[in-house]
Amino acid sequence: MRWAVLRAYDPAMSIEHRRDVIRDLTTFVVVARELNFTRAAAKLGVTQSALSYTIKVLEERIGVRLLTRTTRSVGLTEAGERLLDEAGRHLDGIEQVLTCISGHNDRPAGMVRIVASDHIAASVIQPAMVDVLTRYPEINLELLIDNAMADIVAERCDAGVRLGDHLASDMIVLPLGPELRMAAVATPAYFEAHGRPRMPADLNGHNCLAFRMQSVGNLYAWEFEKDGKVVSVRPQGQFVSNDPAQILVAALKGVGIAFMKEISVQAYLEDGRLERVMEDWCPGFGRYCLYYPAAKQPTAAFEVVLDTLRDGLQ
């Protein structure tokens, strides 16, 4: 296929022709990564018919099929996979060089893409990024929410933030903030009406607000530890959600006891809307980490984002 591409795109081609080549390859890479013409067209700001025509012309020029298309799906042929690997890598390299160059201006500038779970995005990234976007209008931030620990290279993100530091060896991992703890919390009114549990066994009979994990569909078991003794409690209660924000709302309304990361409820503990119980059964269990490919050259904009996240979690 490589020779077919070289025959189709002569090095002596005109500047206009070269522009067409770059445009066609860029279009193909977006379609190949999305594997969806509707999403790719929206990303490129063109119609689906124009997108289909561009891919058709590209395939005719190089003389091979790049995509397999049905009424329901889009896939890559072997040639398409090879072209995506080569063209995607080079186009990403060009974009990175341009971003690095723009990042050497007097003020940091350019796009920074970060992937994180919804909880980390809300509790860690958003509060820190407000300051960045306000102080540096030339920096653009794209925040991708993914609770399944997305591949940041495949998603073309600059970095990810997640709990724990067990990552591939080709990633640079930077701890953010202090060690995390869980907290069993409810409103003062709830505890006044139903009593305050002092140990995990006391949770029996309490209205425990349960979290259903999206990845496996099971209820998250509440795990406690004290003096080397580990106790796991399956929460029983009237309310279950796969969204921690909804569980927090229910706890604030006095429905029952929630078991959440301390960082998520700290503000409510400080203003008295929530109180915690069994604090001595909730040791630290890990910390947030920012990670990015070791081969990546951080831009000035990325350094600003990293420093702001670190400062916000100290």
Residue corresponding to tokens 């139903």 = 194
Q: Which residues are 261's β-sheet partners?
A: 182
Q: How far is Cα 276 from Cα 73, in angstroms, rounded to an integer?
A: 50
Write out the DSSP string of 157-178. Answer: -SEEEEES----TTEEEEEEEE
| Class of CATH domain 110-178+287-312 | alpha beta
Q: How far is Cα 159 from Cα 172, in angstroms, rounded to an integer?
A: 10
Give me the pLDDT at residue 73, please.
Answer: 78
Q: Would you place residue 75 in the very low, low, confident or very high pLDDT band (cuts 50, 70, 90)?
A: confident
Q: Would you place residue 2 in the very low, low, confident or very high pLDDT band (cuts 50, 70, 90)?
A: very low
Instruction: Summarize the confidence of residues 273-282 as an average pLDDT.
Output: 97
Give me the pLDDT at residue 1, please.
Answer: 46
CATH code: domain 2-95 is 1.10.10.10
Q: What is the pTM of this model?
A: 0.55
- Indicate the domain borders of the chain: 2-95, 110-178+287-312, 179-285
Residue 14 reports pLDDT greater than 70 = no
Burial class (CB in 10 A: 0-12, 13-18, 19+), 293: middle
Where b means 16+ CB within 10 Å and e means fewer, 22-61 reads eebbbbbbbbbbbeebeebbeebeeeeeebeebbeebbeb
Give me the pLDDT at residue 299, please.
Answer: 83
More reliable by pLDDT, 63 or 182: 182
Cβ neighbours for 150, distance < 8 A, ≥ 6 positions apart: 115, 144, 157, 160
Write down the architecture of domain 179-285 according to CATH: 3-Layer(aba) Sandwich (3.40)
Residue 240 reports pLDDT greater than 80 = yes
Cβ proximity of 82 and 4 under 8 Å? no
Give me the pLDDT at residue 6, please.
Answer: 41
Q: Would you place residue 3 in the very low, low, confident or very high pLDDT band (cuts 50, 70, 90)?
A: very low
More reliable by pLDDT, 278 or 60: 278
Give me the pLDDT at residue 135, please.
Answer: 87
Q: Would you place residue 207 in the very low, low, confident or very high pLDDT band (cuts 50, 70, 90)?
A: very high
pLDDT digits (tens, 9 = 90+) for 123-175: 778 878 888 888 888 888 888 887 766 677 767 788 888 877 666 677 888 88
Residue 129 tokens read as 């990024």
Q: What are the start-end ranges of the E strands in the chain?
A: 67-69, 74-76, 110-116, 139-145, 159-163, 171-186, 208-211, 222-226, 229-233, 240-241, 257-261, 275-277, 284-293
Query: Do the two domains 110-178+287-312 and 179-285 of this chain adopt the same fold?
Result: yes
Nearest to 181 by CA among 311, 309, 307, 278: 278
User: Which range (158-162, 185-189, 213-217, 218-222) has the least confidence?
Assistant: 213-217
In the chain, the percentage of residues whose pLDDT exceeds 90 is 28
The whole-chain average pLDDT of the chain stands at 83
3-class DSSP assignment, residue 96: helix
